[in-house]
Amino acid sequence: MTDTWSRSVFNRVARVADDSANLEFRPDLDVAGESLSTTLRPRFIASAQEGAHHSEAWLNEGWLRWRPVAGASLQAGREVLLWGPSAFWNPSNPFFRDNNKQNSKREIVGHDFLRGRWQVDDALSLSLISQLGPGHKPDARAISARRRDAIKADWIGSEASAAVLVSAEPGKSLGWQGWAQWTASDALILYGEAAWQRPQAYLQLQSDGKTWQRSDSHPYGLNAVLGAAYTFEINWTLSTEYWRNAAGLTETESDALATSVATLSTRTDPAGKGQLANLIQVSDPMRRHYLGLQLVNGSDAKTGWTLRYKRNLDDSSGEAFVMFKRDIGDRLQVWGNVMQRHGGNNDEYGRWVRSSAMLGLSWFLW
């Protein structure tokens, strides 16, 4: 269920259904041998909203791994590559913007990869990664669906761990990414993620003299997350993160964008509607400075909940998110989440969907 702000100019070109129902089938099939192993994760979804029906089947992940010798492997196929300790933003990943920690019930679309990995010793491993395509379909939460190659080194110590990557699209400038985590005490973990790269523009519109267009040529900039996680004696964990987005809009650019949106909202021609529709697809983070807070319980294995809040420090808008789950027996789980946003008409978290809620039931067949 969603609540779309009726005063939003985006309602001129798009409307979010008030209610929708979804049925999803998510089998995970794994076969492992001494030298060969494979995973298949086909998906089927049927949905209905306001009299409209839709069904779709696809392979979200499916790969084959070959281990010719101990410590070395070659893997090809479709998968979701996620890493890094951050709870909100993961600039260290050049393939996926979303780390799937916001709402894990919504799966990330897998991309097509070719990977080679060598375990140098107990602590160090090296990987060669090539993203060959977007997989089933391009995902708005992905950084890029184009070809991208990377070299990655992972190190795992007794109290700390880290990784560093060098990645680039063919013929494009290099990007440097990495993350590090340190267990400062039994209760406190400190971590950070960073990327030094030429950021891609979030908005790409046709310039017709009436709309605003941002240049796609950016100098190198630093995207970075600094975070800490503290676990209390009752086994609750509190995480806090600061996020700097080098490609975010300045206040002047944000005001120009708002003016462009107001101009486009008065147009009824297909080109104007199309450009306004493009603005709807802009995903966060749009601005430059953010704060994230998260509290997770862990005291009861059958009941779990997560409280999350992220705030745009540039325009003071924010988003609160609550997730819960309850295991009923060994194979049944009831879960739900609620999202509430606040902000002005032109602010990042106030301009479109103001609230939403999901309630679901998961039945584990095996």
- Residue 1's pLDDT band, with cuts at 50, 70 and 90, is very low
The predicted pLDDT at position 344 comes to 85
The predicted pLDDT at position 246 comes to 86
Specify whether the CB–CB gap between 203 and 282 falls below 8 A. yes
The predicted pLDDT at position 172 comes to 85
- Residue 257's pLDDT band, with cuts at 50, 70 and 90, is confident
Give me the mean pLDDT over the 209-215 stretch. Answer: 55
Give me the mean pLDDT over the 91-114 stretch. Answer: 88
The predicted pLDDT at position 275 comes to 72
Answer whether residue 226 shows pLDDT above 60: yes
Answer whether residue 169 shows pLDDT above 70: yes
Specify whether the CB–CB gap between 70 and 122 falls below 8 A. no
**Residue 44: how many other CB atoms lie within 10 Å:** 13
Q: Which residues contact 108 (CB under 8 A, 6 or more apart)?
A: 80, 82, 96, 98, 100, 139, 141, 142
Tokens representing residue 2 in the block: 């969603």
Answer whether residue 236 shows pLDDT above 60: yes
Answer whether residue 301 shows pLDDT above 60: yes
Q: Which residues contact 232 (CB under 8 A, 6 or more apart)?
A: 187, 238
Tokens representing residue 81 in the block: 């590559």
Query: What region does 219 belong to: left with phi over 0, alpha with psi -120 to 50, or beta?
Result: beta
The predicted pLDDT at position 4 comes to 44
Taking the C-alpha atoms of residue 79 and residue 328, their distance in angstroms, rounded to an integer, is 30
Tokens representing residue 135 in the block: 């997989």
pTM for this entry: 0.86
Strands 111-119 and 72-79: antiparallel
Domain residue spans in the chain?
A: 2-363
Give me the mean pLDDT over the 319-339 stretch. Answer: 93
Residue from 268, 272, 221, 225 nearest 244 by CA: 225
The predicted pLDDT at position 2 comes to 44
Phi, psi of 127 (to 5 degrees): -135, 145
Specify whether the CB–CB gap between 272 and 261 falls below 8 A. no
- Residue 49's pLDDT band, with cuts at 50, 70 and 90, is confident
**What's the whole-number average pLDDT of the chain?**
85
Residue 77: DSSP 8-state: E
For residue 186, the SS3 value is: coil
Positive or negative, the Cα torsion across 91, 92, 94, 98? Answer: negative
Taking the C-alpha atoms of residue 304 and residue 334, their distance in angstroms, rounded to an integer, is 11
What is the dotted CATH code of the domain comprising 2-363? 2.40.160.100
Residue from 126, 143, 41, 52 nearest 90 by CA: 143
